[in-house]
């Protein structure tokens, strides 16, 4: 029998001011989200390869933590995940 894991959280990327921030958040809310890392927007704007590198780094770091804690790495939607729900999108 294949074990099915439920979604226990997600990585949320948000543009906030001049930064692109990564958070660990609940599946359906940013309430209580944990800040993970940040990069300046100018490092990723117009540079899809850099955006992909930052996202890959965050996913790898989270994957390492989960594997250490739970013995299994999370599966990530590819290539850029899912869009945030409308009510969570940053407006600047």
Q: For 20-29, what is each residue's pLDDT tens digit? A: 999 999 888 8
Name the β-bridge partners of 29.
26
Helix (H) or strand (E) holding 80: none
DSSP state, residue 6: P
Q: CA-CA distance, 62 to 31, in Å (whole number)?
A: 19
Question: Is the pLDDT score of 83 beyond 80?
Answer: no
Q: CA-CA distance, 32 to 91, in Å (whole number)?
A: 20
Helix (H, G, I), strand (E, B) or coil at 43: helix
Helix (H) or strand (E) holding 32: strand 29-40
pLDDT by residue (tens digit) across 41-73? 999 999 999 999 999 999 999 999 889 988 988
Helix (H, G, I), strand (E, B) or coil at 69: helix
Question: Considering the chain, what is the average pLDDT of its residues?
Answer: 83
pTM, to two decimals: 0.76
The tokens 């999108």 sit on which residue? Answer: 89
């Amino acid at each position: 029998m294949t074990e099915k894991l439920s979604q226990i959280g997600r990585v949320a990327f948000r543009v906030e001011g001049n930064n692109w921030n990564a958070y660990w958040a609940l599946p359906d809310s940013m309430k209580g989200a944990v800040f993970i890392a940040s990069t300046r927007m100018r490092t990723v704007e117009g540079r899809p390869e850099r955006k992909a590198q930052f996202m890959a780094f965050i996913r790898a770091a989270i994957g390492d933590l989960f594997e250490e804690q739970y013995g299994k790495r999370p599966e990530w939607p590819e290539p850029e995940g899912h869009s945030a729900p409308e009510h969570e999108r940053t407006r600047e």
